[in-house]
Amino acid sequence: MLRVLFRPEAVMLPDQSRPVVAATLPVGADHITEIANRF
């Protein structure tokens, strides 16, 4: 599930925001879901 959420985020977000998503991965899937919901 992480890959499914991460791939769209990596494509949608600009290059400068990708490190933010990468830093969120170790925190937990809940934060990734929140980021995905914003879009």
Q: What is the pLDDT of residues 5-39, one digit of tens each?
A: 455 555 555 565 666 666 655 556 676 677 777 76
Question: How many structural domains compose the chain?
Answer: 1
pLDDT at 38: 72
Confidence of residue 1 (pLDDT cuts 50, 70, 90): very low
Domain that holds residue 31: 2-38
The set of long-range contacts for 1-6, using a CB threshold of 8 Å and a minimum separation of 24, is 1/29, 2/29, 2/32, 5/29, 5/32, 5/33, 5/36, 6/32
pTM: 0.24
